[in-house]
């Protein structure tokens, strides 16, 4: 109560004529403090930035940075769908993402030529590839293994060449495929470079866990709120907001 009363007194004093200069100074100082706080939050370092830089620049670092799993982690339902550096994590705020819409999935950077590093289905489900999709597939999982009451989806993208002319998706799943049942571990395609716009990326596969709409269709996977933290599904710490140790290992 005393704090509020004191603050109120200071505020009234500042409002009086003659104290305008002090008011201005305090407002500027408060503004600078707010700017610094928001700026620090906004520009928070990516927990994987340094190691991703090493992975990309120095191929001799790759053995020590790679996560290679041939089966799901103990007590986790999903198989990590590709091998490489699990290097741009879920909920990372850094560019090109923002605190308002952080990275909605996990990127796995493979060690190999473009179009040669395999991508497998994380879990059993029904695969759809829309007619316009050059590099992506989405798999419907009718019962979320962590919450049987709901349906979820797993989404995989960047499986095409830079210009989109060559798709690296398995020939079993041509554009227009709908609801084709696949088992966990089915080969979906290979890591690539396609983003759908002019932006250049290092070769990887982007994987995300996507929520269903009330009508059973998948939500827009590029919006963070429409996705789930993949960590418990894979048994790995994949949320950039948590204490991350690299390379990621079964927990």
Least distance in angstroms from the C-beta of 95 to Zn ion: 13
Which CB sits closer to Zn ion, 99 or 180?
99
Which CB sits closer to Zn ion, 105 or 235?
105
Least distance in angstroms from the C-beta of 143 to Zn ion: 26
Nearest residue to Zn ion by CB is 206
Which CB sits closer to Zn ion, 105 or 110?
105
Rounded Cα–Cα distance for residues 176 and 182 (Å): 16
Inter-residue contact 127 to 120 (CB < 8 Å): no
Residue partners of 211: CB distance under 8 A and separation at least 6: 150, 152, 153, 218, 219, 226, 227, 228
Least distance in angstroms from the C-beta of 88 to Zn ion: 6
Q: Which H or E run contains 140? A: strand 137-141
The footprint of Zn ion (CB under 5 A) covers 105, 107, 206
C-alpha closest to that of 116 among 194, 195, 191: 191
Least distance in angstroms from the C-beta of 85 to Zn ion: 13
Which CB sits closer to Zn ion, 17 or 109?
109
Inter-residue contact 66 to 59 (CB < 8 Å): no
């Amino acid at each position: 109560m005393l704090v509020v009363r004191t603050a109120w007194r200071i505020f009234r004093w500042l409002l009086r004529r003659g104290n305008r200069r002090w008011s201005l100074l305090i407002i500027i100082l408060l503004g600078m403090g707010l700017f610094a706080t928001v700026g620090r939050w906004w520009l928070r370092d990516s927990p994987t930035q340094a190691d991703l830089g090493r992975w990309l620049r120095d191929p001799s670092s790759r053995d020590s940075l790679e996560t290679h799993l041939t089966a799901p982690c103990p007590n986790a339902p999903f198989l990590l769908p590709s091998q490489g550096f699990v290097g741009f994590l879920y909920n990372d705020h850094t560019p090109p993402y923002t605190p308002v819409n952080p990275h909605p999935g996990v990127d796995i950077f493979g060690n190999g030529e473009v179009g040669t590093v395999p991508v497998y289905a994380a879990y059993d489900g029904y695969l759809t590839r829309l007619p316009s999709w050059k590099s992506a597939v989405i798999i419907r999982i009718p019962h979320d293994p962590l919450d049987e009451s709901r349906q979820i989806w797993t989404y995989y993208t960047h499986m095409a060449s830079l210009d989109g002319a060559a798709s690296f998706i398995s020939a079993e799943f041509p554009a227009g495929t709908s609801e084709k049942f696949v088992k966990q571990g089915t080969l979906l395609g290979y890591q690539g470079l396609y983003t759908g716009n002019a932006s250049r990326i290092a070769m990887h596969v982007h994987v995300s866990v996507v929520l269903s709409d009330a009508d059973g269709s998948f939500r827009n996977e590029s919006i963070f709120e429409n996705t789930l933290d993949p960590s418990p599904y894979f048994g790995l710490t994949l949320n950039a907001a948590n204490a991350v140790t690299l390379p990621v290992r079964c927990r």
